[in-house]
Structure 1
Amino acid sequence: MVHLTRRGLMATSVAAALGASVTGVASAEEVAESDTPGAPSVKGDLKRLSTTAFGAEVTGPFVFDDGSLLYSLQHPSGENPEPFNRAAVGYFSGFQFEFDGSNDDFTEVGIPDTQEKQSEVRSTVGDYEILIQGREPINGEESRLGVTQTPDGTDITQSNFAGTQYGAAATNPDCNQFVPTDEEGTEGYLFTNWENSPGCVSRVPISRDEDGEWSADPENAINLTNTESLRAHGGTRINCYGDLSPWGTMVSAEENYAHPRVNLTNTVTDIVEAGSGDGLVGACQFWNRPNPTEVGDAIGTYADDGDIEGAFYPQGLFAMSGVEFLAYYLGADTPTGQDGETNSELPIDDVYPNPYRYGYFVDFREPTADEPEAVKYYVMGRASWEAPDFQGDERTVYGCSDGDSKGIYKFVADEPIPSYDDPMDVAGTLYAPKITNDEASDADSGTRSSPAEVPLEIDWIQLGHASNAEVESWIAEYDDVTQVDYLDTHAETDWRDDRAAALREADLEVIENGNRNYVTNDEIVAWAEQYDERGPDGVDEDLRKIPFIETRAAAKEVGASIEFNKAEGVDSVDDSAPGDFVYFGISEFNDDLADDTGDIQMDRVDGGVVYRGELERDYNVSTLEPVITGPDFTDGPQDADDALRNIDNVYTMRDGRVLCCEDGFGGPARSYPNDGLYVYQPDVTVDVQSMAVANGGTADLPVIASSLPTGFAGAQFTVSVTDPDVATITDVEFPEELGLTEEAISSDGSAVTIRVADTERNVQAGGRNVHLAVLTVRGDATGTTDLRVSVEQMDDESGGAIGAEGRSGVLVTGPPAVTGGDAPTDPDDDGLYEDLNGNGRLDYEDIEILFSNFDDDSVTLNESAYDFNENGQLDFDDIVELYEEVN
């Protein structure tokens, strides 16, 4: 989340000095065009719980089992009064969320309208008590909290080493996750990310006393980055947000902004076709250049001299800060000249970090051991990861990549991740999104849609399949590359004779043809060509590495929608299940989301958008609906002061509410400069589950409320079948907890109106997935019909309206049983019923049943179910097609 966007690319010194966000500030021309309908707006309730101290982002929220809340004070201004002038992690003394699904458990804090208020952390729920602060002595004073060390124990700081560092050491605490060590959850370890390069993850023992107050034990804290387990992976960099895995471990995300090899939405094919990367090449191509951050100034010189067409900024170059410090973390010697003096102009020639070892999710297995085992999930793709979200199936992971023209990704493991004895054996498939709905890209019509009003429909493009060990073996091929290789490979002049001339020649060669020390442009283009011809599983063995270690470049080559600007948050409830929501925070909806190219072309909302997607039964997300839209920066303070601006971390509590953190320091629109922590209370959703039912059979369909806030009194809603020729509603049953119930089914079975009242106050307030009714639906003909829910009224115990909305389901009516046994099923959800014997899988008996009953009415009257060659009719080739599927 420490980042630059396209409009702030040259302000690298500011970002380096602050360790802070330099948000995109729209030009006057852009602002004039961005008076966007629905900005700002909220579908639900949004309430400000806290504002943070001047200069700081709100990061790393965590809610304990008892409802206690903490978050990080990231890079506050040193001009603030104590203790708000130093990076820290603190909690709100005396406050606990009630987990009842309602924002009534706290009073909103006002805006900070004085300098005094702007210089401190504020809330109405309790004092912000500091637990830990960066650079405190820890571990018997052998190290300092959040400060990475060399193998011999030297602190890696700018006072000890020459060169650049991404944010001053231990100034950027971000993600916090708590792993308990007792059943009551009152003792355990607080894991904290430190968003610097070299990066750091610390583990601090903390405990809660009988009065509910928390305290830390720095004496027994450790920096996990200084352990041999993580050093063996090359260490880590820019540790941003993370997640608590379903198996109870801290997973840290590496926000490796330096990974782009091509600027913005350009592709590697564009470079190859142009015959040059002039103006197109990204920062990663200069990874092993001596003093890599200085290439920006060098490019300006080359442009002035006429060697290239014009000056340009390689995307992600600002994040090259700290790369050379990583070499010292790994044990490299500081280059020295013939006089024995340190000379930072000389190339590092002994140990240098491999770029393909950074930009992953890092899981700290055995979190309570003396030294937890660090595992990098290389197989989940390489990006500038802001955060992962591990789903309750323990297989599906969503990730968001921060920065301009980046993406969201999905990984699905073959088996539950903790079931692998060796985490290096974790295997699965990596996906990138494709936005498919026309409303998202209607700029050619002369009018642009507002992102507040248009959901994004997603198809997931498969990039490749591999195991963690396979990807690590591909990465290891580049472990021995150093800065000397950059000069020796790309320059004709021997750098030992003329260092300046060799560096110039190497730079110009890399701009022209790419860095040949790493994956080449030709390899990426070859992979894409084979992908188009043979599919993701048909590429040559030596090219399978491309989508896993050059993820963004590969996704763009195959047409994925890598247009998101600053995807800074993704989260769902810890034990997520189908029907739950995954929230995605897009900090700025501008640049390539709002230009005239690509799959998304809508109005600007510089204040960002929060989307949510409902988990389907296979944990897929296919639609992102906007639920919070920020100010578009044409709004005045009267609108923007209380709106969510530039979403950062999102944290979903167990009652379905969402903590929304801001990263908008220094942006326009508001009357005050501070970032805040908001709590989003979503509208209640009343949802009927999608299901399949046999023709002539019946199925029970639950009607479920996503959550119910305090004091639910009752509701009235209608469920309708859009095509009553396919299915009809025949009966309704209610849970015993509801005191009064009533239903009215229409004469044709196409709809039912339901009224319920919780007369005994039995419904659990704040409970998730509350059953309101169960419908019995009969399949009357093979086909598909929508099930629509309309909520007419939902009230609380005071008579006030509860915000609620209906959501649709789908009912698929399949063919009846062919042989009198179980009804056929569609095991792969492709609309064809391969499983004729109804045992849940495809086998030889299914072929025999189809062959023996080919003229039976159960088959001939349901030809769409058995048209396996998809020619619109039943024929013997359908039997052959089914046979080939089995074989």
Structure 2
Amino acid sequence: MVDLTRRTLMATSTAAALGASVAGVARGEDVPESDTPGAPSVEGSLKRLSTTAFGAEVTGPFVFDDGSLLYSLQHPEAGNTEPFDRAAVGYFRDFQFEFDGNNDDFDEVGIPDTEEKQREVRSEVGDYVILFQGREPIDGGEERLGVTRTPDGVDITLDNFAGTQYGGAGTNPDCNQFVPTDEDGTAGYLFTNWENSPGCISRIFISRDEEGEWSADPEDAMNLANTAAFRELGGTRINCYGDLSPWETMISSEENYAHPRVSLTNTVGDVVEAGSGEGILGANHFWNRPNPSEISDAVGAYAEAGDLDDSWYVQGSWALTGVEFLAYYLGADRSDQSGATNLATTVIDDVYPNPYRYGYHVDIRNPTAETPQPVKYWVMGRAAWEAPDIQGDERTVYGCSDGDSKGIYKFVADDPIPSYGDTDDIAGTLYAPKITNDAANAAEAGQRNSPANTPLEVEWIELGHATNGEVESWIAEYDDVTQADYLDAHAETDWRDDPAAAIREADLEVIENGNRNYITDEEIVEWAAQYEADGPDDVDEKLRRVPFLETRAAAKEIGASIEFNKAEGVDSVDGSEPGDFVYFGISEFNDALADDTGDVQMDRVDGGVVYRAELEPNYDVSTLEPVITGPDFTDGPQDADDALRNIDNVYTMRDGRVICCEDGFGGPARSYPNDGLYVFQPNVTLDVDSMAVGYGATGTAQLAASALPTGISGAEITVSVTNPEVASITDVSFPDTLGLTESSISSDGSSATLRFADVDGNVEAGGRDIPVASLTLRGVDTGTTDLAIEVTRMDDESGHTIGVEAREGVLVTGPPTVSGGSAPTDPDGDGLYEDINGNGRLDYEDIEMLFSSFDADSVTMNKSAYDFNENGRLDFDDIVSLYDEVN
């Protein structure tokens, strides 16, 4: 048996050496005691499909149309059994998911309880066959896969350049997305992220033969980073996960951890109020410092020498590794920065990367062309992006930012993103989250809530509106800033005469007054003041850039809930629609989520939480429900060995199941150090529509099931109107696909009991929103009522009882009518109820009725009926728009 204690420590040190995104949680023996209710737990079922080789994360899952599964072997330990000792991308031979929503299509792999098992990629579904490995020769030996080069063709590695490097070039394959070139999806290009700095995205041709075997062609491969189109954008850095867009292109996300202006939960306002950034500043201030990744050590030395009161960890400074190599990628002359801490023998003063060009989603347009074209979505905000999730409306994008005290964000384009002929014209609004429920609930209860049992209610705060071209023009103003500017602007000593003294002077000046080469702290605070006084649309033109270039700092300054720790996954089913789920993976639920300040103050779960949120009619999400809760790290192996620990990538398959990948780096709790790939099978959900019905009128609510694992043989269900004074059930009907059906309605219409049997097996397995019944409801009086569901029994096709999550609907009647009036109508059939007083026509009385009833539940809960300006919400401009129709 392997020495697990020794190997756990090895895993942690391996992660640190590779630039892994370990943030916040104490590792090894230094873990606070915790006993959080519901940790670990699953709302559904969770099954382990694979464990990966020692030292490696599970990253980059992709499921082909035929059900084949692929993932990346990211930075495995070199001592593993061949071929698992080198970074690679591989698939499982002779295995395909059946897309029936049921985890019965694979056998669970056991825990790796010997060193031999821990050194391999394992599963029970078939051999993990490697398609390609990092650093392999491609393009006739001209390049190496995953390795970026200088403009004159030199590989940017530690073999060729002195300095710091973010991970070994070609050792960190992450996201994989496949773009087919044939109709049946058996041949095409696989795009792979290489999580390094400089960043790299590779494209390699792969195909499947008649026996189902996949193979890669290294002669038809390229590193996109080494093309002129990428260099014109400034290249990329730390390409982590991503998405396959609805328009069939690879989206690669830049995980720029070095973007924080302030460390952890501090705000820029704290810096300005204190008159100094001592103890507060983050890495972004030191981006163009010579030897930038040495700033935390330098802070310690300054504190020891008495120049500072105390030292602190400069958040994100470890991710400043590789910035000098990025300069060489852009064409800078080599600079000797190999001296002792704080000493740069020479300074990069010719070409240097602009910090505001990194930390975006990158769309690979024309993916099958000879030279694909990269587009950075500057307008979606700058962060340590793990991934985006682009919804089926092609306008709404959710993104998650990795690291400690970070955010999840939303962007909504004015029009579908692919509809813009020029990507500079892409326009939209950027939002940050505000958690509205937990802190108040916890304070009222006098105790902390468990994240396993507490949904998070989210409101979205608008940060700003801009076009992609506008944001890029703001970024371009900082293109010429170099390391020399850091010293010239902040030190009196000439760095050419005494570089060590100049760096010390500049560091201390920046700590006190901030880096004047970039957006200043004062500008951020002024933007927030104008925002709060006049709203996001009326800030000074010069300040409009702030929320797009300094997204995290801006969001924190106006009170957004930037408290998530390692938001590492977000995904929904391709072609998502309202009613589908978006899954958010929070790798560690601790630090700012579990402290005594802020909007979220819960018990800690170092093993993390997976949330899901239902897409609303406008593709918004407002409630994050916990569906998977990881282990406390003081739990024993009996609880932790089979639990999901430290979620990384999440990947939603077309049948609603979710692939969950781990990024645990051999932390505590388990009896083994390996990360695994799990498949989450959600519980069946049974939904009844929320709806509006006019006073005295009738309407139809659909009852539908989703995520049925193997179809359904039959069920008995009761639907109730919780307030029968508002509405009653008058009729029930069933779809023709159900063979045997019957229903009974209570005498007062308050409930209906439904029974059916799918004798012909017509109900689709694994489907979404499968119709079960239709209920006719009549509006009895003005008001609101819940539509509640009780499932007496539901059986699958094998006769087993199915666990069901019943999701209530809301019925609203009204709006209030004038004396002797009728229910509102829709005279022109456009879905908007212009005839509010129900007299059959549009007139001035309708405008007066809407104005006087604007805050009534019957209006506010029916915004789609009264959204006359069609902006997705109710506002006074709806009254103006209705007035314009009368005139």
Q: TM-score, normalised by structure 1?
A: 0.92
Aligned partners of 2:696 and 2:823 also within 8 Å: no
Q: What CA distance in whole angstroms lies between the structure 2 residues aligned with 1:658 and 1:791?
A: 25
Q: CA deviation at 1:193?
A: 0.4
Q: Do the aligned residues in 2 keep the contact of 1:189 with 1:206 (CA within 8 Å)?
A: yes
Structure 2 distance, partners of 1:200, 1:280, is 32
Aligned length: 854
Q: Secondary structure at the match of 2:536?
A: coil
Q: What is the 5 A alignment of 1:539-618?
A: 539-618=539-618
CA shift, 1:421, in A, is 0.7
Rate the CA distance shift 1:235–1:557 in 2: closer, same or farther, 3 A: same
| Residue 262 of structure 1 pairs with residue 258 of structure 2 | no
Q: Cα distance, 1:824 vs. partner? A: 5.5
Q: How far does the alpha carbon of each residue in 1:113-133 deviate from its partner, in whole angstroms, 9 at most, with x for none?
A: 000000000000000000010
Change (3 A) 1:431 1:886: farther
Q: 1:882 aligns with which of 859, 868, 879?
A: 879
Say whether 1:334 aligns with 2:334.
yes
Question: What is the one-letter code of the residue matched to 2:405?
Answer: S
| Greater shift in the superposed pair: 725-734 or 667-676 | 725-734
Question: Would the alpha carbon gap of residues 816 and 485 (structure 1) be closer, same or farther in structure 2, given more than 3 Å must change?
Answer: same
Letter in 2 for 1:708: L
SS in 1 for 2:362: strand
Deviation at 1:666, TM superposition (A): 2.1
Residue by residue over 1:746-791, the C-alpha shift from the partner in whole angstroms, topping out at 9 and shown as x without a partner, is 2222222212211111111122221111112222333332222222
Q: Deviations over 1:203-248 (max 9, x none)?
A: 1100000111100011110111111222111000000000000111
Given that 2:405 and 2:563 are in contact with CA atoms closer than 8 Å, whether structure 1 keeps it comes out as yes
Please tell me whether residue 850 in structure 1 is matched to residue 842 in structure 2: no
SS at match of 2:517: coil
Aligned-pair CA distance for 1:833: 7.1
Aligned to 1:391: 391
- Equivalent position SS for 2:219: helix
Q: Partner of 1:4 in structure 2?
A: none
Tell me: CA distance 1:491–1:834, structure 2 relative to 1, closer, same or farther (3 Å): farther
Q: Could you tell me which amino acid in structure 2 is paired with residue 286 of structure 1?
A: F
The residue number in structure 2 matching 1:662 is: 662
Give the TM-score normalised by structure 2.
Answer: 0.92
Q: Which residue of 2 aligns with 1:115?
A: 115
Cα RMSD, aligned residues only: 2.8
Seq. identity, %: 73
Give the whole-Å Cα distance in 1 for the aligned partners of 2:560 and 2:721.
35
* 2:191 aligned counterpart, secondary structure: strand
* Residues 308-341 of structure 1: per-residue CA shift (max 9 Å, x gap): 110111100000000111111111111379xxxx
Map 1:705-720 to 2 at 5 A.
705-720=705-720
C-alpha displacement at 1:510, in angstroms? 0.6
Q: Is the 8 A contact 1:694 1:816 kept in 2?
A: no
Please say if 1:764 is aligned against 2:751: no
Task: Map residues 241-252 of structure 1 onto 2, 5 A cutoff.
Answer: 241-252=241-252
Q: Is 1:811 aligned with 2:811?
A: yes
Q: What is the CA deviation profile of residues 339-381 of structure 1, one whole-angstrom value per residue up to 9, with x for unaligned ones?
A: xxxx963211111100000000000011111111100001011
Give the direction of change, closer, same or farther, for the CA distance of 1:828–1:496 in structure 2 (3 Å limit): farther
Q: 1:749 to 1:378 in 2, by over 3 A?
A: same
Change (3 A) 1:18 1:277: same
* Matched AA of 2:48: R
Is the 2:650–2:660 contact (alpha carbons within 8 Å) kept by the matching residues of 1?
yes
3-state DSSP class of the match of 1:762? coil
Which residue identity lines up with residue 678 of structure 1 in the other structure? Answer: Y
Cα distance in 1 between the residues matched to 2:853 and 2:21: 63
- What displacement does 1:17 show? 2.6
Deviations 1:600-637 (A, max 9, x none): 11111110100000001111110001000110112111
Structure 1 residues 757 and 286, CA gap change in structure 2 (3 angstroms): same
CA gap 1:295/1:701 in 2 versus in 1, 3 angstroms: same
Amino acid across the alignment from 1:848 = Y
What CA distance in whole angstroms lies between the structure 2 residues aligned with 1:807 and 1:191?
A: 39
Map Cα deviations across residues 818-859 of structure 1 (whole Å, 9 max, x no partner).
998971699999xx97774999xxxxx9663536x87xxx99
Query: Is the Cα contact below 8 Å between 2:189 and 2:205 reproduced in 1?
Result: yes
Correspondence list, 1:665-684, <5 A:
665-684=665-684
Q: Distance in 1 between matches of 2:828 and 2:548?
A: 32
State the match for 1:520 in structure 2: 520
Report Cα offsets for 1:276-296 as digits up to 9, x if no partner: 000000001000001101111
CA-to-aligned-CA distance 1:558-617 (integer Å, 9 cap, x gap): 111110000000000011101110000000111111111111111111101000000011
Distance 1:264 1:248 in 2: 37
* Inter-partner Cα distance in structure 1 for 2:175 and 2:779: 49
For the structure 1 residues 532 and 816, does the alpha-carbon distance in structure 2 shift closer, same or farther, using more than 3 Å as the test? Answer: closer
- Stretch of structure 1 that moved more, 669-678 or 801-810: 801-810
Aligned counterpart, 2:236: 236
Query: Which stretch shifts more, 189-198 or 150-159?
Result: 150-159
Aligned-pair distance for 1:710? 1.3
State how far apart, in whole Å, the 2-side matches of 1:825 and 1:261 are.
Answer: 55
Q: Give secondary structure in 2 for the equivalent of 1:537.
A: helix
> Conserved in 1, the CA contact under 8 Å of 2:711 and 2:766?
no
Residue number among 822, 825, 845 corresponding to 1:823 in the alignment: 825
- Find the residue that maps to 2:140 and give its secondary structure: coil
State the match for 1:68 in structure 2. Answer: 68
| Distance of aligned partners of 1:612 and 1:884 in 2 relative to their CA distance in 1, 3 Å threshold | closer
1:57 correspondence with 2:53: no
Q: 1:29 to 1:62 in 2, by over 3 A?
A: closer
The answer to whether the 8 A contact 1:259-1:383 is kept is yes
Find the aligned partners of 2:120 and 2:539 in 1 and give their Cα distance. Answer: 56
Contact 2:23 2:404 (8 Å CA) reproduced: no
> Where does the alignment leave 5 or more consecutive residues of structure 2 unmatched?
1-7, 338-342, 861-874
Q: Deviations over 1:438-485 (max 9, x none)?
A: 467615754211110110000111111111111111111101111110
Unaligned runs of 5+ in 1: 1-7, 338-342, 840-844, 869-877
Given that 1:202 and 1:222 are in contact with CA atoms closer than 8 Å, whether structure 2 keeps it comes out as yes
Q: Confirm or deny that 1:168 pairs with 2:168.
A: yes
1:609/1:776 Cα in 2 relative to 1: closer, same or farther (>3 Å)? Answer: same
Deviations 1:722-762 (A, max 9, x none): 22232222211111111111222222222222122111111
Task: Choose 782-791 or 562-571, whichever is displaced more.
Answer: 782-791
In 2, Cα distance between equivalents of 1:835 and 1:163: 71
Q: Structure 2: how far apart are the matches of 1:167 and 1:82? A: 21
> In structure 2, do the counterparts of structure 1 residues 235 and 749 end up closer, same or farther at CA, with 3 Å as the change threshold?
same
Matching of residue 408 in structure 1 with residue 404 in structure 2: no
Q: Which residue does 1:503 correspond to in 2? A: 503
| Structure 2 residue 17 is matched with structure 1 residue 17 | yes
CA contact (8 A) 2:851 2:879 kept: no
Contact map agreement 2:21 2:403 (CA 8 A) in 1? no
Between 183-192 and 787-796, the greater mean CA deviation after superposition: 787-796
1:536/1:828 Cα in 2 relative to 1: closer, same or farther (>3 Å)?
Answer: farther
Q: Given the superposition, is the C-alpha separation of residues 459 and 860 from structure 1 closer, same or farther in structure 2, using an over 3 Å criterion?
A: closer
Residue by residue over 1:9-29, the C-alpha shift from the partner in whole angstroms, topping out at 9 and shown as x without a partner, is xx9986563343446543899
Q: Distance in 1 between the 2:304 and 2:66 partners?
A: 62
- CA shift, 1:34, in A, is 1.2
State how far apart, in whole Å, the 1-side matches of 2:712 and 2:224 are.
47
- Look up the SS of the partner of 1:731 in the other structure: strand
Q: How does 1:16-55 map to 2 (within 5 A)?
A: 17-22=17-22, 24-26=24-26, 31-55=31-55
2:799 counterpart of 1:802:
no
In the alignment, the residues of structure 1 paired with residue 647 and residue 876 of structure 2 have an alpha-carbon distance, to the nearest angstrom, of: 54
Partner of 2:639: 639
Distance 2:858 2:793 in 1: 44
Q: Does the Cα contact within 8 Å between 1:149 and 1:329 map onto a contact in 2?
A: yes
Structure 1 distance, partners of 2:309, 2:855, is 63
Q: Report if the CA contact (8 A) 1:53-1:80 is conserved.
A: yes
Q: Is the 8 A contact 1:441 1:602 kept in 2?
A: no
Q: Classify the secondary structure of the residue corresponding to 1:232.
A: helix
C-alpha separation between the residues in 2 aligned to 1:242 and 1:272? 36
